[in-house]
Structures are given as C-alpha cells and as structure tokens.
Structure 1
Amino acid sequence: ISAALGMAVGRDLKGERNKVIAVIGDGSMTGGVAFEGLNQAGHLNKDLIVILNDNEMSIAENVGALSNFLSRTITNEFVHKIKKDIESFLEGLDSFGKGALKATKRAEESLKGIFTPGMLFEAFGFEYIGPIDGHNLQQLQMTFEKIKNFDDAVLIHVLTKKGNGYPPAEKNPALFHGVGAFEQATGRVNKSRGTAATYTAVFGDTLCKLAADDESIVAITAAMPDGTGLGRFATEFPQRFFDVGIAEQHAVTFAAGLAAEGLKPVFAIYSSFLQRGYDQLLHDVCLQNLPVVFAIDRAGVVGNDGPTHHGVFDLSYLRLIPDLTVMAPKDENELQHMLASAIHYNRPTTIRYPRGSGSGVPLDQIPAVLPYGKGELLRQAGEGGTIIAIGNMVAPALTAAEILSAAGIEVAVVNARFIKPLDREMILPLAANGRIFTVEDNVLQGGLGTALLELLEEEGLPLAAVTRLGYPDRYIEQGEQQELYERYGLTPAGIAASVMSALS
C-alpha cells in the first residue's frame, strides 16, 4: 500500500494519468505497515485502488481481533433486501415523506458499519466496496468497470477461498501454501528429503520436552506454527502458545514484555522475517537485556523461495548488537543442546539453523547446557592451517579436511558454535600458528570471517592469513540449496579447493 501510494503521488507530480492498484492479503493486514500506508493514503486521497484479498488465511489460519472483524460480513443481498423493504414501507407513509427516507439512508450506513468491515476503511478515508465474491469473474469485472473512473482512494474487499477448485488444497491450505511436486489426483506431496529429522522438527520436539519440566517457558510464532515446528507445542501447551499473526515487530516486543514478567519466551521465526523486527530487537529486548530466545529457522540459503527468503544476513545483522548471544549448531543434536543452553543463559540469545533435514546423528535423550562462548575443536591442528566453520558448514568442512588429508595437507577443524562471543582462547593460538579459513552460510560482510578479522586486528595478528568463504555482496538468486552451495564453493570439494588455492 505504501509503495502504491508513492507511485500514485509520483504519477500526479509528473502529470501522468494511469491507475495504481495495490493487492494485499488479509493476513498482511495484521502488520502495522499496512495501516501506516492506509492512514497516509486516506489523508492524501489520491487516485489509488487497494484490493483486499480476504481468504481468512495467511499461511496458517489468521488470528486476532482484526481477522474477526474482517470475518464479520453480511451478504449484499441481505442488506439490499432490508433496504428495499424499509424504503417500500416508508413510501407508503405519506406524512413522513422525504425526511423519513433521508433518515433511512443514515440508518443504512449504520447498518453497513455493524455488519461489514467497511466502516473501518471509510474511517481511513477510503471509499469501501464489498465484500464481493473473488471467484465470480463477471462480478469482479463489473466492479472494476464501475470504479475505473473514480479519482479517490478506493478499497475493494474481495472474498476468496485458498486452494479454490482443488479439493486437497481446500482441505489443507497451509500444506499447499508453498509446495513442490505433488500427485495431482490425490494431492499427496512428494517430499524428496532424507530420513533424518528436520531441524525444525527437532526444535519443536525439544521445546516441548523442556516446557514439560518448566512452566515458565512460552512460545511465540508470527502466523507460522507449523512452519516453525510449534504445532505440537500449541496442542500440548495451548495456554503458553501465542500466534500473533504476521506482526513480527509486535511479536518481538510482546516477547520482551513476557520476559520482563519473569517468563521464558521463545520466539520461533524465519531468518528473513526477523529483519522486520530489528528495531524492536535492538531497543525492546537487547537494550533492556531481557532473556528472550530467538529460534531462527531457515538460516542460510533456503532453496526455491529465492532472494526474499534466503536467510543469509542474520549472522551479520545480529553480531553487531550489544549483549546479544549468537549461536549456530553443527547438527540437529547440537541444536537441542543449544536450545536448552539459550534458555539457561538467561540473556538475549539467538540460535540460527537451516532449512531441511539434519545429518541423521543420534539425538541425546537429555539436552545439556553448553559451556558459554566455547567452540569445539573437531580435528587437531596441522601445517595447512585451520578451518573455522559455523552451523551447517561444519560437516562439509570436516569432509573437506579429509579430502585435503588425502592430498597430503593436514588442517584443523573448529566448530565455532558461537559467533558472538567468539572463543578467543581457542582461536587465537590457532591463528598465531597458521592460516585460517572461515566457512559460513551467510554473506561475507559482517559475518564469521569479519568477526575473526576484527579479533585478529585487536590482537595485532596478520590479517592476510585469513581466507573467508561465504556469499558475495549481492542478493543470492533462487536455486536448490545444494546447487547454491556448489556455485559458491561451500561444498566439501569447494572448500578443499579454496584451501589448496590459498596455500599454493
């Protein structure tokens, strides 16, 4: 809405004539930026059309007072019938005449406000039209024909059904929100993933295990209970589960309030969506040093969702925040230990982990607390230097070390675990005795490699002996995870090749 308003203002300033139309889903109307745009658009009253696609779904079912308000609709036929009946009755009472009919018109507007959400948008200064059937193309065409010559701000409320016309999608719209290959006849989704549990599932199961023993643990999601693995938590602990809708800024500050009251909030969110609540993370959580845990799913490249969903910036934008702990597990077993640790540390803490299956390692029965700020030396030092990897890059780094060993080059491998704070006691001796290679599923600017360079500069150690592997300074294109790892040299073979090239 804000972008459309900017385009409409730009059009008018240039003296051009065209129509600007913004299409927004009802799920997005739970976010404050939508209302900021509506507020300014109604004030300026520009020639602008906003289409509200209302299917009562964002990804999971919409929640909140606004969703209930939008759902409180009544058919145009019903309103029309009441209107006609009252008018016919009053026309038969000659003594009342035109004055009574004018009063009826006012009553009609009041009735409209009671039974439809139009009053809300008209209060913003929009001409409200609807609700209308979004699957009736003839009705849609007639509506647009009627309003195409309007020169005021107009909102068209369109009712649709997610998955309309395909029964499997109608029955399970959340499953078909973002879907790969599936069988058309049955709707069965063909998941080509491995047999290992996903990071998301391990997170959800571990949180339930911890919450069963600690009643102060509460969970928050921004309209994605299933996508973030909180579906089971919502079922087992409904009073401690909060779905705030697509409202990440509110979610972060809401978590801060819970923490201020002594609870232990865990906010599960995709990496790219946490960017929306960055200011709240800075000021409402970290400035007050409140113990909120952020479980950051879909960190790193995520595959075919592309640049809008790649979580390749979080290590960089989180690392600069004072008092914030930043962790990433090497596998799904370490994830459950990090979750237990994050809750135990009693400070603002983030855990970032990738989309998809883990490596299939056995899961310890009892999550343990990890030593704070300590990495893990997985392979002893060699004359070839040290590979310091974080998160899901640890496994390919270990395999790369085996490739190098077969070629006569021995390197140490470190699982950083923490990017903030870095394990200075482990890293500095390794850096003083050989070349360092950092590997991260993140952009190079501001990430693990940058953190290491800053550490070495503080200690007066040579910076030229550092090679950083990660993503370049651009938006990473769409592609399968493995495809992108290969393209940017983050596979075992790619890491080994970079080490050989640097050493030569």
Structure 2
Amino acid sequence: MEYQILNKIEKPEDLRDLSFQELQLLAKELRHYIIQVVAVKEGHLGASLGVVELTIALHFIFDTPQDLLVWDVGHQAYGHKILTGRRNNFHTNRQLGGISGFPKREESVYDTFGVGHSSTSISAALGMALASRLNGNLEKHHIAVIGDASIASGMAFEGLNHAGVTNANLLVILNDNAIGIDPSVGALKEYLTKAKVGYKPKESNIIEALNFNYFGPVDGHDLEALLSILKELQQIKGPKFLHVITKKGKGLKKAEEDQVKYHAPGKFQPETGELLPRNSEGLPLKYQDVFGLTLVELAKENKKIIGITPAMPTGSSLKYMMKAFPERAFDVGIAEQHAVTLAAGMATQGAVVFCNIYSTFLQRAYDQVIHDVALQDLPVVFCLDRAGLVGEDGATHHGLFDLAYLRAIPNMIIAAPANEIELRQLLYTAQLGLTHPMAIRYPRGRGITNNWQVPFQAIEIGKAVCEKEGENLAILALGSIIKNAKLALEEIENEVGLYNMRFAKPLDETMLHNVFSKYKSIITLEDGIVSGGFGSAVLEFAAAHNYTCKIKCLGVPDSFIEHGKIDELQEIARIDVKSIVRQVKYLL
C-alpha cells in the first residue's frame, strides 16, 4: 500500500491541514501501517487498531503538545506514536535501543506522562490541569484516554471523585470496548454495557453523579461524529466525560474475532491475520502454565483452595482453575489492592488462597501486603509471575523489586524455584497447612524440562540445596537464573561450588555457615534489583556472624532497565553467562 497521506505526517500539526476525506484515508493508511509493522516486529496490536479514528480526531481538534494528552496503560498508543514524529523508527518498537512500547516522557514531548501500569491517566491529567490553572493557563486542555477495564480500578475512581469537585479543565475519554487483555468484569462493566444499548436514564448516570458533564455513547469508528463531539467539548469548561464505543482489533478480522489472542499476537500474516506458526513442539511449558495446571491438580484434592487474579486469567494461566472450578476462582478486574485484601479476608475463614499477580503489579498493593496480610500473619500465597527481567515490555513491567520490597516485611516467606519441578513442589507445599504468608516468584516464559509433572513432594521451608561442591569459590543462586550459573561453570576448569538457595527468606543459615566456613570467595546471583535483595540478605548474614570472605553480589544494578530481549538485558545487567564466567575467573 502506498501511504499517500501518512508519509506526509511528521507531526500532528500536519494533519490539521487535511480535508475530511484525507483524514478518512489517513485512518485507513494508519491502521494498515500498524498491522504491517506489528505483523513482523510483534507488539500490542488490538488496542491500537481500536483507537485509530479517535487518535486522529484528538490530534486534529486539540493543539497537542500544548494541549496535554495522556494515554492510559499505553497499549493503545501506537497510532499516537506514529503521528507524533516516530513513524520512521516505529519498526524499532520494543527492541533494544528502539522506541518504547509505551508512552515515555523522555522519548517525545507528545508523551506527556509515562505509563505501563493501568488507571493512572485521570489522576495524572487532573494534576496537570490543576497545575495549569495555578500557572494562570486557563485555556489549556488536558485529556485522559482510559479503557473500560482500567476505569474500574480504584485509582481511576479516586481521580474521578477528586476531579468532580475541582472545576479543572479535564476531559476523560472512556475507550469502551468491553475488554482489557481479557474480557472486562464487574458491575461497572455491566452498567456500561447497558449504556451501549441506550439504557442511560439521567437520574442513574454514575458519571454525572460525580459532577462530570457526560457525553455519549459515541461510535468510536465514526470519524465525523468524533470530530464533531470533540469540537463541542473543546468549548466547554470544567470536568467532562466522553463515552466512546470501539472494537478492539478493528480493521483486522482475526483480531476482531479473537481479541484476547490478538492483544499481543506475535508474528502473523498482515493480509489475513493468520498467526505464523511458533515452533513450540517439544519445548517445555511456560512457567505460568505449570502454575495453572498444578493448581487445578491441587484443587481437586484440597477443597479449600481458591484462586484470585486481578484481570490476568490468561496471562497468569488461572484460566485453567476458572474453567475447572469457576466458583473457586476469581478475576477481580484491575484491582490489585482489592485482590490482596480479598485474599486476606478469605484466609481468615480458613481458605487456602493463591493470589496470582505479576511481580510488577504487586507493587500497586504494597500497603495491603503489609497491613492486611503480613501484620495479621495470614497464610496467603502470592504467586508472582513475570518476576525478574521480562524483555520487550521494558522498565514498567520488569519484576525486579519484589525480593527487596518483600524481604523487609515480617512474617513473609519468599521462595524462588530453580525450575518448573520446584515451582510445582512449592505450590504443593504452600497448601499443606502454611502458617505465614508466602511469595513464590517465577519468571516469564518457558521452563527447562518437559518432565515437570512429577509426584508431589513437600519442600522444607528455608532449605537450600547443594548442586555442586567446590573449592575456594561458591555461587549462591536464587531462582531460575541458576541456569546461567550452571552454563557458566561448564566453561570453568576450576572446581566452583554451586548452591540453589530456593529461599530469600528465611535463609538456610545452616547451609550458609558451612559455605562461609569452607570458601574464600562467594558470589550471589539473582534476577532482581541488587540493592536490598537476596545478595544483601547474604551480606547481612556475613556481617552478623563476622565472616570476612570476599562477597560479590550479582543482580540488576540500581537503575531502571529498558526494553529488549531478555538475553540482551541480562548482558546489560551482567547476570548473563559470560559475565558470570568473567566474575568467577576474576575472583579465582
């Protein structure tokens, strides 16, 4: 396809000179361009296809970047990036050294707020609007574009609640497509569904009850209607709310039909949408599937087991539990704080609760972990998927901080399996009368063995395993990153000890006393932030017992790691095989 209009757009100002017919052609070209690039380079597809017309209309009507536009989460911002000077390097999206998959302030003046986690847009845009008013700029517009799954989050409600009493020049646009990554859930979703079919009696409009001027619902693919309503809203002061109905994956039939799979489909045929085969035959399962399938096995025998996920049943593989035991598995929507305290409430009644949350998203519920779970010493099991470096999603999604932020919490047990078999056995152990809260962290992606479905066997809490005895130097590894240590030792002639620590808390102090008594030098290895993590725990142990061995802590440095392939990022963090080899040889 020849991009007659798109190739002329270097900045939003360029599209403001286009006729309506040219804008319609631009929408067609922009959608085609997104499909062509993502088909080859991969990324988030469906969300951006759904807001092509809305993106064009917003940049046409409003004077961006003077008017401030905030995209919630950022899955929907590819069109925005292409129209704001990044068309020519859009092919580098999510690659090492390329542009981010999410809006990012240092990348462009048009990216007014960095995002990646959901439901932040309303609070951020409101903050901008209030600051603008204090600065005497009463004409500037502030727009938050938020999805129907994200607006159900507590933080979004907090922002709406505050905005309604401020008279701030704020426009909240609800991109309503009934799906986030998985289908949206909850009472608000049902309310919005009624609004779609015309059921919107004035007296029961929840948005107007919060002092917003409500407009809509509007067809989000009717460019003429969008331009008209946005032009009208441009003239209205105070908090405004526009309800826009879109279809996720619009313009690619396969993406419209299977919106879950085409949220981030991998490589596909751009003309047909047909997914290109991934040669996964014979490969180990993903860690998330080992979790999901094991939980179903356990739930068949233990009727007290309950599963909870905040809006990620597919991504976490809790979908297996939801299918097998729908009455005992809960998708609570994008509500991590609620998920944690809900789990705590269930635990008070004797339930064995497995709360599955991506490591990066548990950060959003830190107070609840401390106050509602750990302080009351409730045996909630946190299954932290995507722990460690996650790859192309970058800094907003790496699960690097859980070891450090959980280790400081009293009563908390922290485990990190070296492989899928240990994950399976830790899940089994966690439902055998656990008396404290426990976090089990495991990585994104596939494991290392096909024969993971072994008979259940309990693991002693706080017990490490010696993988290999050595002389002079020992590596203490935590979690699946131990595979890099094993590969590194294959390249080293000297006898180096290797220990699978399994637990960051409690540490196996008996093992550590033996190690510190035997070896002159020690390396700790973890796939997490090195400041305050597992290595720090070992240093604290050494200091407490007056050991004077050389200790080198390998982990992610005290900086935010950007996006790229996991092996590339491990090299940057110096926890890859070559870096371990270099460090061992240096210490020896």
- TM-score (norm: length of structure 2): 0.77
Of residues 201, 216, 239, the one that matches 1:111 is 201
Of residues 364, 385, 391, the one that matches 1:303 is 391
Specify the alignment match of 1:479 in structure 2.
564
Q: For 1:429 and 1:291, locate their aligned partners in 2 and report how far apart those are by CA, in whole Å.
A: 31
TM-fit CA distance, 1:332: 0.7
Specify the alignment match of 2:274 in structure 1.
187
Is 2:579 the partner of 1:490?
no
Q: For 1:139 and 1:187, locate their aligned partners in 2 and report how far apart those are by CA, in whole Å.
A: 32
> What is the 5 A alignment of 1:269-348?
269-344=357-432, 345-348=434-437
TM-fit CA distance, 1:381: 2.5
Percent same amino acid among aligned pairs?
43
Specify the alignment match of 2:264 in structure 1.
178
> What is the 5 A alignment of 1:158-237?
158-184=244-270, 185-191=272-278, 195-237=283-325
Specify the alignment match of 1:43 in structure 2.
165
What are structure 1's unaligned runs of at least 5 residues? 80-109
CA spacing shift, 1:350–1:75, aligned 2, 3 Å: closer
Number of equivalenced pairs? 462
Is 2:69 the partner of 1:69?
no
CA spacing shift, 1:381–1:471, aligned 2, 3 Å: same
What are structure 2's unaligned runs of at least 5 residues? 1-121
TM-fit CA distance, 1:461: 1.3
Paired residue secondary structure (2:241) = strand
Q: For 1:451 and 1:346, locate their aligned partners in 2 and report how far apart those are by CA, in whole Å.
A: 23
Confirm or deny: 8 A CA contact 2:253 2:273 kept in the other structure.
Answer: no
Q: CA-to-partner distance for each residue in 1:264-310, whole Å, 9 max, x for gaps?
A: 01011111011111110101011111111111100011111111111
Specify the alignment match of 1:452 in structure 2.
538
Q: For 2:197 and 2:427, locate their aligned partners in 1 and report how far apart those are by CA, in whole Å.
A: 49
Q: Which amino acid aligns with 2:527?
A: D
Confirm or deny: 8 A CA contact 2:288 2:385 kept in the other structure.
Answer: yes
Confirm or deny: 8 A CA contact 2:265 2:275 kept in the other structure.
Answer: no
Specify the alignment match of 1:376 in structure 2.
465
Specify the alignment match of 1:356 in structure 2.
445
Confirm or deny: 8 A CA contact 1:342 1:350 kept in the other structure.
Answer: no
Q: CA-to-partner distance for each residue in 1:241-277, whole Å, 9 max, x for gaps?
A: 1110000100000000111000101011111011111
Q: CA-to-partner distance for each residue in 1:13-44, whole Å, 9 max, x for gaps?
A: 11123111111111011211111111111111
TM-fit CA distance, 1:361: 5.0
Paired residue secondary structure (2:195) = coil
Q: For 1:190 and 1:112, locate their aligned partners in 2 and report how far apart those are by CA, in whole Å.
A: 51
Specify the alignment match of 2:231 in structure 1.
145
TM-fit CA distance, 1:75: 5.3
Q: Which amino acid aligns with 1:67?
A: K
Confirm or deny: 8 A CA contact 1:303 1:480 kept in the other structure.
Answer: yes
Q: For 1:374 and 1:57, locate their aligned partners in 2 and report how far apart those are by CA, in whole Å.
A: 43
Specify the alignment match of 1:248 in structure 2.
336
Specify the alignment match of 1:390 in structure 2.
478
CA spacing shift, 1:189–1:221, aligned 2, 3 Å: farther
Q: For 2:511 and 2:453, locate their aligned partners in 1 and report how far apart those are by CA, in whole Å.
A: 26
Confirm or deny: 8 A CA contact 1:381 1:430 kept in the other structure.
Answer: no
Paired residue secondary structure (1:227) = helix
Q: For 2:232 and 2:453, locate their aligned partners in 1 and report how far apart those are by CA, in whole Å.
A: 65
Paired residue secondary structure (1:404) = coil
Q: Which amino acid aligns with 1:488?
A: A
TM-fit CA distance, 1:171: 1.4
Of residues 120, 129, 132, the one that matches 1:11 is 132
Q: For 2:269 and 2:511, locate their aligned partners in 1 and report how far apart those are by CA, in whole Å.
A: 51
Confirm or deny: 8 A CA contact 2:266 2:275 kept in the other structure.
Answer: no
Q: Which amino acid aligns with 2:566?
A: Q
Return the index of the structure with the highest Cα Rg: 1
Confirm or deny: 8 A CA contact 2:255 2:273 kept in the other structure.
Answer: no
Q: Which amino acid aligns with 2:364?
A: R
Q: For 1:350 and 1:361, locate their aligned partners in 2 and report how far apart those are by CA, in whole Å.
A: 25
Q: Which amino acid aligns with 1:37?
A: G
Q: Which amino acid aligns with 1:182?
A: F
Paired residue secondary structure (1:195) = coil
Q: CA-to-partner distance for each residue in 1:154-210, whole Å, 9 max, x for gaps?
A: 010111111112111111111122232222324315436671111011111110111
TM-fit CA distance, 1:74: 5.0
Q: For 2:167 and 2:336, locate their aligned partners in 1 and report how far apart those are by CA, in whole Å.
A: 29
> What is the 5 A alignment of 1:82-101?
none
TM-fit CA distance, 1:113: 3.9
Computed over aligned residues only, the root mean square deviation of the Cα atoms, in angstroms, reads 1.5
CA spacing shift, 1:74–1:64, aligned 2, 3 Å: closer
> What is the 5 A alignment of 1:45-60?
45-60=167-182
Which runs of at least 4 in structure 1 moved beyond 4 Å after TM superposition? none
Q: For 2:521 and 2:345, locate their aligned partners in 1 and report how far apart those are by CA, in whole Å.
A: 46
- TM-score (norm: length of structure 1): 0.89
Q: Which amino acid aligns with 1:224?
A: M
TM-fit CA distance, 1:412: 0.4
CA spacing shift, 1:198–1:286, aligned 2, 3 Å: same
Confirm or deny: 8 A CA contact 1:326 1:350 kept in the other structure.
Answer: yes
Q: Which amino acid aligns with 2:345?
A: G
Q: Which amino acid aligns with 2:327?
A: Q
Paired residue secondary structure (1:373) = coil
